[in-house]
């Protein structure tokens, strides 16, 4: 990176965890909230699955049609069931 921009500094792990990730998370959540408000109707789907080691997972997905008529989907959660 020094050849591209000599003043560039790689952020430390603490900066990424405490500054960048919360900022990105809030930006994505705000976009998702605005999308939900703009959509006329929203459908939530729940799906369960297991991997080869028989660990169970579930997923929650949001589906809607945007202003251009395109079907859109967003994965809201994908978690391990303990």
Does residue 76 sit within a domain? yes
Q: Transcribe 4-70 into DSSP letters.
A: T-TT--PPPHHHIIIIIHHHHHHHHHHHHHHHHHH-S--EEEEEEEE-TT--EEEEEEEEEE-TTS-
What pTM, to 2 d.p., does this model score?
A: 0.70
Has residue 3 been placed in a domain? no
Reference 59, options 39, 37, 81, 41; nearest CA is 81
Whether 50 is covered by a domain: the verdict is: yes
User: pLDDT tens-digit profile of 3-51?
Assistant: 777 888 888 899 899 999 999 999 999 999 999 898 989 999 999 999 9
Range of the domain at 52: 39-82
In a domain, 78, yes or no: yes
| Residue 4, domain member (yes or no) | no
Does residue 13 sit within a domain?
A: no
Cα 23 to Cα 13: distance, rounded to the nearest angstrom: 15
Query: Do 49 and 56 form a contact (C-beta atoms < 8 A)?
Result: yes
* Residue 70 falls inside a structural domain: yes
Residues 40-82 pLDDT 10s: 899 999 999 999 999 999 999 999 998 899 999 999 999 999 8
The answer to whether residue 63 is domain-embedded is yes
**Number of structural domains the chain divides into:** 1
């Amino acid at each position: 990176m020094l050849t591209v921009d000599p003043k560039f500094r790689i952020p430390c792990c603490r900066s990424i965890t405490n500054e960048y990730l919360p900022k990105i998370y809030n930006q994505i959540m705000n976009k998702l909230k605005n999308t939900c408000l703009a959509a006329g109707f929203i459908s939530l789907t729940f799906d369960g699955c297991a991997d080869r080691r028989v660990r169970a997972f579930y997923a929650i997905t949001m589906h809607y049609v945007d202003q251009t008529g395109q079907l859109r989907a967003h994965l809201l959660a994908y978690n391990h069931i303990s």
